[in-house]
Amino acid sequence: MTLRDPFARHRSWFDPPVRRRWPAVDAGPAPRGTPWQRRPIVDPEPLADPWRPDEEEAPSEVVVPVETHSADEPLREVEAAPPSSGSSDVAVPSSEPPKAEAAERQQLHDALRELTEAKKRVERDAQRVKDETRQALIADLLPVLDNLDRSLEVEAKEGALYEGVKLVRGQLEQVLLGYGLERSESVGQAFDPSLHEAVAVVAAETASQDGVVQAEWQAGYRFGDKVLRAAKVSVGRHAPDDDAVASPLAAE
């Protein structure tokens, strides 16, 4: 007796759907009057997956030649190459610069030295012109300073006029000193022909006063290392037997 499966009728309900591939058949245009008829669905060819190529490329084989030796042929010993003493195929950069580069460096060094010397020369010339200009201006103002000194000697030591002239004279001297004017010390100093101009010779009481400036008739001034005006002075001379000869300026 054959048993019958009671669920055979409904088994197809639980089975997964089966996808069938239909052949690509062109049904042609649908006839008129039958709008419900449609062309069958054509399943296109499946596209190849670019990430999963069908055929994997096999790695290319590398053929390495192997040297074979026969049994009768003895093996040759490979001798180690001796260390190279001097020459080698690898070019070693030289520590010394090429001649052309050395010549360019020397030219650049010479040009920089000439430029530095030219700059210093221009600065010296500019300073010399400035000093000469100041020197000429101060030399022209020295007579004004002398006249103020004479005015102070003539005027009385009291009064507003005397104080005013003294004030102006002091201000002028301070301005000239600020521009580099220096007054030479004369009285009590040994006579120096480069700084003093002897206008009188007076008798000196002791031998130590011989050749020493005793009085100053006109002040001397310097500008740096250059003497603008020598001081007019009287010089002492020690002569025990002879009388000292005095100039007319000393008699006054």
CATH number at residue 244: 2.30.22.10
* Any domain includes 43: no
Confidence of residue 210 (pLDDT cuts 50, 70, 90): confident
Report which of residues 173 and 35 the model is more confident about.
173
CA 234, distance to chain mean position in Å, is 59
* Any domain includes 73: no
Checking if the pLDDT of 146 tops 50, the result is: yes
In this prediction, residue 168 carries a pLDDT of 92
In this prediction, residue 245 carries a pLDDT of 47
Do 170 and 189 sit in the same domain of this protein?
A: no
What are the pLDDT digits (tens) for 65-75? Answer: 555 555 555 55
In this prediction, residue 226 carries a pLDDT of 87
Confidence of residue 24 (pLDDT cuts 50, 70, 90): low
Choose one of 136, 160, 179: the last residue of a domain: 179
Distances in Å between the Cα of 132 and the Cα atoms of 123, 225, 228 are 14, 12, 11
In this prediction, residue 97 carries a pLDDT of 59
Distances in Å between the Cα of 88 and the Cα atoms of 6, 78, 84, 94, 239 are 97, 21, 7, 14, 98
* Tally of domains within the chain: 2
- For residue 223, the one-letter residue type is F
Domain that includes residue 194, residue range: 184-252
* Any domain includes 152: yes
* Any domain includes 225: yes
The DSSP annotation for 103-136 comes to HHHHHHHHHHHHHHHHHHHHHHHHHHHHHHHHHH
* Any domain includes 147: yes
* Any domain includes 69: no
* Any domain includes 10: no
Do 205 and 161 sit in the same domain of this protein?
A: no
What are the pLDDT digits (tens) for 89-125? Answer: 555 555 555 788 888 889 999 999 999 999 999 999 9
Instruction: Read off the pTM.
Output: 0.46
Do 126 and 153 sit in the same domain of this protein?
A: yes
Do 194 and 153 sit in the same domain of this protein?
A: no
Do 173 and 191 sit in the same domain of this protein?
A: no
